[in-house]
Structure 1
Amino acid sequence: NGKPIGALGDKEAEWHTDMSYVAEPPMASVLYSLEIPSKGGDTSFANMYKALEDLPDDLRAAVENRIVNHDASTTSVGELRAGANAVLDVRTAPGAKHPAIRTHPATGGKALYLGRRLNGYLEGYSVEESEKLLDRLWAHCAKPEFSWTHKWQLGDLLIWDNRCAIHRRDSFDGSERRVMHRTQIKGDAPR
């Protein structure tokens, strides 16, 4: 009826891991396309095993055995969640704390685990140092050599592992609809 639907609207969704702001984030996500726009709305995925493997030595040393505070106040399009207050100090943002490098419980492999950039905080550093390190980490993770983009077709079903991948969505024309059903698969606390 001419009014926006859904929680995320038609804006671009930045790189993120689903629900990393909870103590036990989902191990995987499932997305099924019911309606897709004529263009845009594609979903890209980045391999966090590979991003960690190719991380410069100084950056790896800076995040090894460090904890990241995963902000719970905003969505993946950067909007404030209902009932949340704006974050004035990233060190005290609400949300879970997880290792910057996690061990995958099934494969034993190591992967970067950053959540989302907005209001993230790398504990043990000043806010300025954390911001610089996180900016470098996210720029590194977003390199094209780590990613793949899925161009949606009606009826596509995607399943991805949130423990070793990040993803993002392209924006699309707000006069068109993009309707997806999403399911989360229960996970455990990152280690």
Structure 2
Amino acid sequence: MSWEAARCALDPEAVRAALGDAGVAVIEGTDVSDAEFVAFLERLGPLTFTEGEASHPGQPKLNVVSNMGRKTKPRSVFHTDTSYVSRPPAFTALKAERIPEAGGETVFTNQFDALERLDAETQARLKGARVLHRVTGVNPGDGAETETWHPLLRRHPVSGRVALWLSTPERCVDLELADGSRVPQMVAELYAHSTDPAHHWRHRWKAGDIVIWDNRCTLHKADHSAVVGDRVLHRGMVGGEEPVAA
């Protein structure tokens, strides 16, 4: 593994700097309410919400990520949040509410690193490619966006670095190269490359933790394979821009 998350204070400028450098920021030992959590995220930008998901009953700008009351483990695969809309969220943040006795880590990959690990010939072939992202897992309702073409090689609006930007193959249903040829099977190959376990970084949750990541250059998933006890997190998302091709 060649990268890891940055540790920083609960300060918007420190978080922006950390995200621009590492893609994931960890803020330890916080003791903030949901209202304070929302107020902090709003200092990073206007909040957004995934249509079709249920909001937190006491805070409509947040939703709850929980394993409580479930007979089966929640399903989780590496993905970037809500990528099927024209302006996907820039940042996602989780605030720890209940930490399980064991397990329940959140796992990340760095997509700048994923692109750099491809050979030069493959990188050249992917220049100008685009991917069709389609909604999965939620029902956004009538009139909501459900699919969008996005560039596969995405230039970060702050750092200028280029990421290999895709999501789970269930959501990335087609891939078109710059010459117009369609090679949807490449999605699974690039996804497997991106999520190589040798290049994961895992966050082991502790009470008071807040973790924020940049959806423009990371993939993430929850590891539910060995959870013992209740796992409850509150989630907020900061809106983003239309992806820019590299």
- What TM-score, normalized to structure 1? 0.79
| Residue in structure 2 matched with residue 106 of structure 1 by the alignment | 158
CA contact (8 A) 1:43 1:168 kept: yes
CA contact (8 A) 2:88 2:240 kept: yes
Partner Cα distance (1:70, 1:55) in 2: 22
Distance 1:49 1:138, change over 3 A: same
2:205 to 149, 152, 162: 152
Q: Does 2:102 correspond to 1:19?
A: no
Distance 1:136 1:57, change over 3 A: farther
Partner Cα distance (2:202, 2:109) in 1: 9
State the one-letter code of the partner of 1:116.
T
Distance 1:139 1:152, change over 3 A: same
Q: Displacement of 1:22 after TM fit?
A: 1.1
Distance 1:60 1:156, change over 3 A: same
Partner Cα distance (2:196, 2:226) in 1: 26
Partner Cα distance (2:114, 2:103) in 1: 26
State the one-letter code of the partner of 1:184.
M
The alignment partner of 1:13 has SS state of coil
1:166 to 203, 216, 219: 219
Q: Displacement of 1:174 after TM fit?
A: 7.7
Q: Percentage identity across aligned positions?
A: 35
Partner Cα distance (2:87, 2:150) in 1: 10
Partner Cα distance (1:10, 1:22) in 2: 27
**Counterparts in 2 of 1:5-84, with a 5 A limit?**
10-72=73-135, 74-75=136-137, 81-82=138-139
Total equivalences in the alignment: 170
Unaligned runs of 5+ in 2: 1-67
Distance 1:42 1:60, change over 3 A: same
Q: Displacement of 1:172 after TM fit?
A: 4.8
Partner Cα distance (2:155, 2:140) in 1: 33
Q: Displacement of 1:166 after TM fit?
A: 0.7
Unaligned runs of 5+ in 1: 76-80, 85-93
Task: Output one character per residue of 1:30-82: Cα deviation in whole Å (capped at 9) or x when no partner.
Answer: 1011012222221111110111011133432332211111111x13xxxxx23
Q: C-alpha root-mean-square deviation of aligned residues, in Å? A: 2.5
CA contact (8 A) 1:44 1:147 kept: yes
| Residue in structure 1 matched with residue 149 of structure 2 by the alignment | 97
Q: Displacement of 1:169 after TM fit?
A: 1.0
| Residue in structure 1 matched with residue 17 of structure 2 by the alignment | none
Give the structure with higher Rg (CA): 2
Partner Cα distance (2:98, 2:226) in 1: 13
Partner Cα distance (2:236, 2:210) in 1: 11
- What TM-score, normalized to structure 2? 0.62
Deviates more, 1:112-121 or 1:150-159: 112-121
Q: Which has the higher contact order (CA 8 A, sep 6+)?
A: 1
Q: Displacement of 1:117 after TM fit?
A: 1.8
